[in-house]
Chains A and B, each alone.
Chain A
Amino acid sequence: MANLSFVIPMSVMTLFWGIIGGVVPWFIPKGPNRGVIVTMLVLTAVCCYLFWLIAILAQLNPLFGPALKNDTIWYMYYHSS
């Protein structure tokens, strides 16, 4: 696939927060705090997933690139892959 390197993180994160928000709540034992714990799990999953999603979508199609100092560029040209 063309951008496998995008699909993998996308599916991993979606799966991770999906499990936390959608599957784990069913396993919380019944007790006085069940409602609170389930609410917290679902809200955490939603908030954290949304935050990660915004970060990755913002970098998906950049309109401009980073401006680097010339010695940084020189170093990176000769020393990185």
Chain B
Amino acid sequence: MVPVTVVFTQESVPLDDQEKLPFTVVHEREIPLKYKLKIKCRFQKAYRRALDHEEEALSLGSIQEAETMFAEPSEQAEGSLTVYVISEHSSLLPQDMMSYIGPKRMAVVRGIMHREAFNIIGHRVIQVAQAMSLTEDVLAAALADHLPEDKWSSDKRRPLKSSLGYEITFSLLNPDPKSHDVHWDIEGAVRRYVQPFLNALRAVGNFSVDSQILYYAVLGVNPRFDPASSSYYLAAHSLPHVINPVESRLGSSAASLYPVLNFLLYVPELAHSPLYIQDKDGAPVATNAFHSPRWGGIMVYNVDPKAYNGSELPVRVKVDMVRVMEVFLAQLRLLFGIAQPQLPPKCLFSGSKSEGIMSWELDRLLWARSVENLATATTTLTSLAQLLGKISNIVIKDDVASEVYRAVAAVQRAAEELASGHLASAFVASQEAVTSSERAFFDPSLLHLLYFPDDQKFAIYIPLFLPMAVPILLSLFKIFLETRKSWKKPEKID
């Protein structure tokens, strides 16, 4: 459930409609996924009149000033939205724009003087709210692992699997240290650009960042020479082969509990400079970078040809970290699945916050993650139950049983919290559900007596019981024969 607060200013709707405030309207929508699976999404709109300080703020000249006057975002719970309805002719928004979406869970919509004002405005509010919260593709991407593939969904870029934390590694690849002496201020760049972004994503998990410089690391593909632009290029179809040879030298999964995201910065060799990446149409990509879902990204940094003039090798190269970090942060957003939302028509979209992620984008991420966690937890528990049904030899110890109970309780609690709109606690409960269910399923004690084949049991008991059973069976047989004879005898005497 998404709690939306709709605030009306004085001239936004006709007076008699204003008398009806405050009240609540609930709007339900079912999002169909595949195979009869549906998710019900409920928007609970609480209409109210604007308070004085809000009226004051909304009558200011520009939207940016209005935003700064508003309440602190920490007062707004995660997952909720506030929509302000202003008058039709207000100059807060540019004339042709009907609505505006801000970075801090706030939006502005134009009101209308009409009899059916509330319905029309309600409609617009729903459009804006859907843009800022759950939509079908967000949920489909989150559940991509659990639903069977469709032919159109294989194109969808899969976001990272939900996990308790991530490790991000920045690597500088220098295949030609004789020609290039590359320096990069990675510590400063991480502190200035990446750390604020990760701090904003703190609710999603633990992040750790490290960096390394690798020498003599070549890409797996030989670039081709393009005589037209006298430069080298990597064609789009050869990009999948680039990563493999480098991967073994990255040392990525050596000592980390969490999945690793690699971001590589490649400075091409003197013999292959400058190097461009071409997309499917043959045009060079503007940022000279590409990313691979669930793995990371690679950017090619070409050395400025003016640096070679006159100086002897190796040439000192100082990497422009701003350009590089722009690309890496954008790739990080795409890897997490924070994509551009579908905006309703005539909507003004503000720029992002300085951290690179808006609060309602974080909310979308948390919703998607919660749903994914719940799906994972239920799948794990179901498989465990099926396994027990098939193999009767498994012994479930008490602590495994308590983990299962805890997982089930957490799943139920997460579903309740999601239905009542408390996003933060729902996310925490879903993480706990996943942890408990995985701990129960992968417990090593389940395998203890698993492989105890039946023929070994026979081999132990047969030497004892078979010799004892033979005389018993023989005598039973004899008894049976004798009783049959004694039945027949009275007939004969007769």
A and B interact: no
- Give A contacts to B, CB under 8 Å: none
- Give B contacts to A, CB under 8 Å: none
